[in-house]
Structure 1
Amino acid sequence: MNADADAVVIGAGHNGLASAIVLARAGWDVVVCERNESPGGAIRTEEVTLPGYRHDLFAANLNLFMGSAFFAEFGDDLARHGFSVVTAQRAYGSVFPDGRFLGVEQDPEATRASLAQVDPDDAEAWEALHARFAAIAPHLFPLLGVPLPSVAAVRGLLRGTRALGRRWPLDLARLLAQSPRELFEEHFVSPEVQALCAAWGMHLDFPPSMSGGALFPFLESQASAANGMALGRGGAGTLIAAMVGLLEEKGGEVRCGAPVDRVMVDGGRALGVQLVGGERLRARRAVIGNVTPQALFGQLIPPAQVPDEFERRVRAFRHGPATFMLHLAMSDLPDWSASAEARDYAYIHVAGYLEDMDLAYVRAVAGRLPEHPTLVVGQPTAVDPTRAPDGEHVLWVQVRQVPSAIHGDAAGEIEARSWDEAKEPYADRILDLIEAHAPGTRDKVRARSAWSPADLEAADPNLVGGDSLAGSHHLMQHFFLRPVPGWSRYRTPIDGLYLCGAATWPGAGVGAGSGHLLGQQLTRSRTRRRR
């Protein structure tokens, strides 16, 4: 069977769906092909422990999405299709080996009081840093919604310069070059406050001493303080259900269980896709790959179809360390010994200090299981009880970072060298680390589901080696250099073939940035041609 469409999208992750929605609204006939039996990519909510306990398998934080240009444009439509969020006013906190707890809330006085426990001067320094964030955020966040490089980006920088002064470009360049350690040691004296902020860098692949890693933890630590943390009511997967519903309302189609075998190319132009099984879908205007560069060029398209230099750069595309996920069905939330209030926060970081995070990262890239990895403990039912039966809870534990391939165990306890064998022992280590800060947690676990890096990649091939970012965000592979130099605006050397997703600008996170930008780019270019 052969069929025609204006555009075929490979992959029903949220960026692929965003591009399809923008195109369908413009009157394009769009088909989205998804290999899995359900859409969503790295945004999935499932009952993987016990019936009635709904777990966000991978992504959970929707702050970026709620501030995105896509949500500003389609938020009301998504609400009609059932999407809504709950906001945790108590956004995040950190527990420390000496028994201290620091928490960040939307209430600035509460945050100040928490930080003043360790250093009153740091509480004042936090307010100064937050004031800096409030001043530059209106000029920085809009840059995430424009292509790079572009005239729009230059205009945004000029507007910022007019508002903030001539030093703004230099201050921004310095911020982009700093490591998290340099930024937060510059502002804070206490190791606890430094680590409280720097822990956000570990959500990407930015350990505290990594140059170029300061921007993300600066923005995330302060944005969560300003806005709280947005979680999808009923699970992040409700966002995907709403996007699919909106796309279908506009005439688009999502075909699950439809893995693409190859992109059909002739004469340097993408003509469509062939599915596993032989069915062909012709694309009159565009083929969009919401996949990693190496999946598109190497698996779906033979390397010989693109210039040698481009193919070399794609092969050099680097992935970051892996992620390990642990999902727990609980009879109750952990009772954190450092503070009874800690159970009310959306995220608790169990990360130690700057040196602990640096060491965990070094262990992971060397192929060794960290003895004290950075844990992000999500407590979604603290603010959204719909995710579990009455009175019950779920925990979302993300382990940052672990090796994709195990060459040893830094603690000398786990002998297994395959994740299939090491998965459960490492899950025990994670529970031990949580138990040390919240005694009695183990007794509250009704069931658990551990997801190793191998499991993550099996669930979503874009999570190569368990890299939940679809590619490192180090400076040599970010901004206008993402995914490869010279090709940051979603085009490829093959006419009519485009690339979006976390491997492209603006990178990882649930923000729909690349899908939205690509959809706008395609519809605007068609409008210009008609004119």
Structure 2
Amino acid sequence: MASSFYDAVVVGSGPNGLAAAITLAQAGRSVCVFEAKKTIGGGARTQELTLPGFHHDVCSAIHPLGIGSPFFRTLPLERYGLEWIHPLAPLAHPLDDGTAMLLERSIAATGETLGCDAVAYRRMMEPFAAQWDKIANAFLGPLRPQSARHPLLMTHFGLEAIRGAKGLAQQHFRGERARAMFAGMAAHSMLPLEQGPSAAFGLVLGIVGHALGWPLPRGGSQCISDALAAHLRTLGGDIITDHEVATIEELPDARAVLFDVTPKQLIRIVGKQLPEHYIRSLQGYRYGPGAFKIDYALDEPVPWLASECLLAGTVHIGGTLEEIATSERQVAQGQPPDHPFVLVAQQSLFDETRAPAGKHTLWAYCHVPNGST
């Protein structure tokens, strides 16, 4: 049961809400987190969505920026059962000719799958992969004094990252294989690939793939949330689940209230206590594209034509740079894509806890226009 007073109350138990609560508790503040669902985690949850014994990630599944988070790396999450599993390759990108490119931890090994662009790819990634910690500390968080350190590195990275992914790939690579693999990584931005800073997503995901990998948590993404919650409780924090906050008045008294919610939810909960100009800003918030996701319970792994795909935790199915760019452009224009770029995770190939013995799970989604039904 919640206390009658806290230094801070956090509404929403996604990773951001839990991280905020932990930061406050580490500073000696009393804090309570309220979560509308029966389980914590927001987008980092795992449930039996298809058949008994098949454990599917509800939203997020593969976590390069989880293992790469400067904040997460300061926490003893492994003490609470979080274990990262690294697939043999972070990413596979098959093409219609039956071959596939592999993003591997080794830049050289990755280059071997990129044909004529092996050297160009190494020149792009090597300077950044060796400096991942500096890039992460500068860009994965709020603007701080350390963001201005290493000006030459940050200028080099920034000038590449701010661009559209399509133009950057066409400038650096001559062949279709490297262009396609970079396009798939950049499409995680959910932006048209002609638009900046979509290149930043391709660069960051490629760099962290080489520096740290694209791991998945044993047992599912829920284990990340559970580890964060367990650490918060050891610091004295409270967590209240299955309690949807309808109005701010129902919360305990607190010196501060933090919201890990959407703009529309914030208006509904706080209402007229916010300044009118801020309410107008929230009402004008432009939501990005949505995702259409399907979870599969399988009798056997996917029989990929390109068998290298069985080495990867993540598979990008989208074809060439032009095909992926067309798909993402159509989504941005409000049109369901004719040939959607599909992102696939096959966790059970590497984590036996996800499915009954001999069975498998598959997690797949594509981008769709906002408001799609």
| Length-normalised TM-score, structure 2 | 0.93
- Give the equivalent residue in structure 2 for 1:287: 257
Kindly report which structure 2 residues correspond to 1:279-358, keeping only aligned pairs within 5 A, or say none. Answer: 280-283=251-254, 285-296=255-266, 298-302=267-271, 304-337=272-305, 339-358=306-325
- Give the equivalent residue in structure 1 for 2:26: 25
Structure 1 residue matching 2:113: 3-state secondary structure? helix
- Give the equivalent residue in structure 2 for 1:188: 173
> Aligned partners of 2:37 and 2:300: how far apart in 1?
33
1:225 aligns with 2:210: yes
Structure 2 residue matching 1:357: 3-state secondary structure? helix
- Give the equivalent residue in structure 1 for 2:247: 262
Q: 1:28 to 1:124 in 2, by over 3 A?
A: same
1:16 CA drift (Å): 0.8
Q: 1:287 to 1:11 in 2, by over 3 A?
A: same
AA in 2 matched with 1:301: V
> Aligned partners of 2:333 and 2:164: how far apart in 1?
21
Q: 1:329 to 1:208 in 2, by over 3 A?
A: same
Q: 1:175 to 1:312 in 2, by over 3 A?
A: farther
- Give the equivalent residue in structure 2 for 1:488: none
Structure 2 residue matching 1:254: 3-state secondary structure? strand
> Aligned partners of 1:221 and 1:206: how far apart in 2?
17
AA in 1 matched with 2:343: V
- Give the equivalent residue in structure 2 for 1:131: 126
Superposition RMSD on alpha carbons, in Å? 2.0
1:136 CA drift (Å): 4.7
> Aligned partners of 1:217 and 1:208: how far apart in 2?
10
Q: 1:123 to 1:15 in 2, by over 3 A?
A: same
Please list the CA deviations of residues 418-441 of structure 1 after superposition, one character each: whole Å capped at 9, or x if unmatched.
x3xxxxxxxxxxxxxxxxxxxxxx
> Aligned partners of 2:332 and 2:165: how far apart in 1?
19
Please list the CA deviations of residues 382-419 of structure 1 after superposition, one character each: whole Å capped at 9, or x if unmatched.
221221112221111121x112335xxxxxxxxxxxx3
> Aligned partners of 1:123 and 1:392: how far apart in 2?
37
- Between Structure 1 and Structure 2, how many residues are aligned? 372
| 8 Å Cα contact 1:370/1:402 also seen in 2 | yes
1:326 CA drift (Å): 0.8
Q: Which has the higher contact order (CA 8 A, sep 6+)?
A: 2
Structure 2 residue matching 1:369: 3-state secondary structure? coil
- Give the equivalent residue in structure 1 for 2:106: 107
Please list the CA deviations of residues 37-80 of structure 1 after superposition, one character each: whole Å capped at 9, or x if unmatched.
11110011111111111111110122212122222221x2x222
Where structure 1 has 5 or more consecutive residues not aligned to the other structure, the ranges are: 265-273, 275-279, 407-418, 420-531
AA in 2 matched with 1:354: L
- Give the equivalent residue in structure 2 for 1:455: none
| 8 Å Cα contact 2:100/2:308 also seen in 1 | no
| 8 Å Cα contact 1:48/1:55 also seen in 2 | yes
AA in 2 matched with 1:402: V
Structure 2 residue matching 1:336: 3-state secondary structure? coil
- Give the equivalent residue in structure 2 for 1:97: 96
> Aligned partners of 1:227 and 1:183: how far apart in 2?
24
| Length-normalised TM-score, structure 1 | 0.66
AA in 2 matched with 1:71: F
Structure 1 residue matching 2:269: 3-state secondary structure? coil
Q: 1:191 to 1:213 in 2, by over 3 A?
A: same
1:209 CA drift (Å): 1.1
> Aligned partners of 1:26 and 1:333: how far apart in 2?
47
1:287 CA drift (Å): 0.6
| 8 Å Cα contact 2:88/2:311 also seen in 1 | no
> Aligned partners of 2:66 and 2:265: how far apart in 1?
26
If you compute each CA radius of gyration, which structure gives the higher value, 1 or 2?
1
AA in 1 matched with 2:40: P
- Give the equivalent residue in structure 2 for 1:160: 150
AA in 2 matched with 1:210: Q
> Aligned partners of 1:133 and 1:217: how far apart in 2?
12
> Aligned partners of 2:158 and 2:226: how far apart in 1?
39
> Aligned partners of 2:86 and 2:368: how far apart in 1?
30
- Give the equivalent residue in structure 1 for 2:342: 375
Kindly report which structure 2 residues correspond to 1:131-150, keeping only aligned pairs within 5 A, or say none. Answer: 131-148=126-143, 150=144
> Aligned partners of 1:247 and 1:256: how far apart in 2?
14
Where structure 2 has 5 or more consecutive residues not aligned to the other structure, the ranges are: none
1:8 aligns with 2:9: yes
1:306 CA drift (Å): 3.4
